[in-house]
């Protein structure tokens, strides 16, 4: 069992895609799990799990005084419902050094929004 788990981790690390390589219209799979707090149900958690599929719908540059961001908008295929909305959570991205963190939230219409600082554009993403 440990060998299988180690092989799965190694496979994920080998095939992880950099943020700079993600293309609009392409499908990807999550390489790590995380949780998002739902707004519509107090205390409920949405589990976003390794292997779930997303499709990149848009990549939008954002400029906020003092920081430059990229907003990646994904169609979240495992969405539990089109009206579900979550709080934004800060998610540390595995396999990054120095550590990269992204802001992630689920918006109406099953859009998974990921905010990345442009200084981290060439680092590993959450997707393969």
In a domain, 128, yes or no: no
pLDDT of residue 64: 87
pLDDT of residue 47: 96
- pLDDT, averaged in runs of 10, over the chain (128 residues): 46 70 98 92 86 98 93 96 93 95 97 97 97
DSSP per-residue codes, the chain: -HHHHHHHHHHHHHHPPBGGG--TT-EEEBSS-EEEEBSSSTT-EEEE-TT-EEEEEEEEEEEETTEEEEEEEEEETT-S-TT--B--EEEEETT-SS-EEEEEEEETTTEEEEEEEGGGTTSB-SB-
pLDDT of residue 11: 45
Torsional sign, CA 57, 15, 100, 82: positive
pLDDT of residue 41: 67
Q: Total domain count for the chain?
A: 1
pLDDT of residue 5: 44
In a domain, 83, yes or no: yes
In a domain, 127, yes or no: no
In a domain, 29, yes or no: yes
pLDDT of residue 1: 52
In a domain, 126, yes or no: no
User: What domain range includes position 73?
Assistant: 2-120
**Whole-prediction pTM value?**
0.86
């Amino acid at each position: 069992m440990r060998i299988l788990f180690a092989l799965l981790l190694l496979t994920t690390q080998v095939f992880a895609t950099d943020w700079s390589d993600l293309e609009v219209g392409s499908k990807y799979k999550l390489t790590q799990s995380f949780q998002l707090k739902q707004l519509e149900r107090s205390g409920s958690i949405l589990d976003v799990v390794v292997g779930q599929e997303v499709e990149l719908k848009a990549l939008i540059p954002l400029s906020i005084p003092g920081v430059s961001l990229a907003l990646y908008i994904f169609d979240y295929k495992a969405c539990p419902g089109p009206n579900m909305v979550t709080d934004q959570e800060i998610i540390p991205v595995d396999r990054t050094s120095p550590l990269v963190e992204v802001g992630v939230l689920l918006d109406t219409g099953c859009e998974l929004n990921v905010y990345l600082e442009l200084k981290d554009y060439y680092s590993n993403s959450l997707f393969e």
